[in-house]
Amino acid sequence: MRVVQFAGWSGTGKTTLVEGVLRVVPRGLTAGVVKHLGGEHPFGLEPGRDTTRLYTGGAAVVTGIDREKGVTLVRADSLEAALDRLSDAGCDLALVEGFKTVPFARVVVGDLPSERVVLRDPSPEEVVAALDRFDEYHSPGGLLLACRRETGVTDGVECTCRVPVGPARSTDPAHLAALEARCRAVPGVVGVKVHGRVYPEGGQILVALIARDPGAAAAALASFGSVNRGTADRGGQE
């Protein structure tokens, strides 16, 4: 999933540009949007609605669903968690409006001083043409979806793993490629995707794989276990 961040002072037209990009997203790509509501006051919930009452009543998450759509209220949400949800949902593109202090590669609207500027005051078409210049981001579940799309495999044992590492290792293409090749070489493994990402507190390497049986999956996970100690989330079916 590519993350395109839109930054700029209030009132400079960020939302209008995001709307324009949504209109010209290439066919076959699924786009999601995360908007920083900002301001001194939190986003207002409609008084008297059942979802509002349940949320204010203490629920950590409230989801309302009708025949056409759903809406979810999440307590103590974050940009990282929101991006994980988009990746889990299979989005190919995340358009992030705001969050000026988060260091994604970005589009700047107006004269806001900023680092990692890919484009400044572009047209929607220019944003789409430059998608490969923006950061790639996957959740473990999203990486597994990408692995399934790439291989066409619809069954097997699914495994995902997060390994905490230093920022330099998590962004080293040669290291990530070697890890993927090591897992792919294990007999019984039918698909592997490896992705590195950096957080303010350090880096992570994510691995998603599909194997024919639990033994092959365990062997593949063990094959890169020497990278660093991490936690693994395993699921799937035999």
**125-168 residue pLDDT tens:** 999 999 999 999 999 999 999 999 988 988 899 999 888 888 88
Q: Which two tokens stand for residue 134?
A: 């923006």
Residue 105 has what pLDDT? Answer: 93
CA 137 remoteness from chain centre: 4
Q: What does the pLDDT look like over 115-136, one tens digit per residue?
A: 899 999 999 999 999 999 999 9
What DSSP designation does 187 have? T
Residue given tokens 């290291």 in the structure block? 175
pTM: 0.82
Rounded to whole angstroms, the Cα distance separating 219 from 221 reads 5
Whether the CB-CB separation of 84 and 95 falls below 8 Å is answered with: no
- By CB atoms closer than 10 A (0-12, 13-18, 19+), residue 189 is buried
Q: How confident is the model at residue 171 (pLDDT cuts 50, 70, 90)?
A: confident
User: At residue 184, does pLDDT exceed 80?
Assistant: yes
- Residues facing 106 on adjacent strands: 5, 117
Distances (CA, A) of 8 to 117, 118, 149: 11, 13, 36
**Across 75-94, average pLDDT:** 92
Q: Which segments of the chain belong to CATH 3.30.70?
A: 140-236
Residue 200 has what pLDDT? Answer: 59
Q: Which two tokens stand for residue 8?
A: 């700029």
Rounded to whole angstroms, the Cα distance separating 165 from 28 reads 34
Please give the CATH superfamily to which domain 2-136 belongs: P-loop containing nucleotide triphosphate hydrolases (3.40.50.300)
What DSSP designation does 149 have? H
Q: Which segments of the chain belong to CATH 3.40.50.300?
A: 2-136
Q: What is the CATH number of domain 140-236?
A: 3.30.70
Q: What does the pLDDT look like over 202-231, one tens digit per residue?
A: 788 999 999 999 999 999 888 766 544 443
What mean pLDDT value characterizes the chain? Answer: 87
Phi and psi of 177, rounded to 5°?
-65, -40
Highest mean pLDDT among 33-47, 170-184, 196-210: 170-184
Q: Residues with Cβ < 8 Å from 192, sequence gap 6 or more?
A: 147, 180, 183, 184, 207, 208, 209, 210, 220
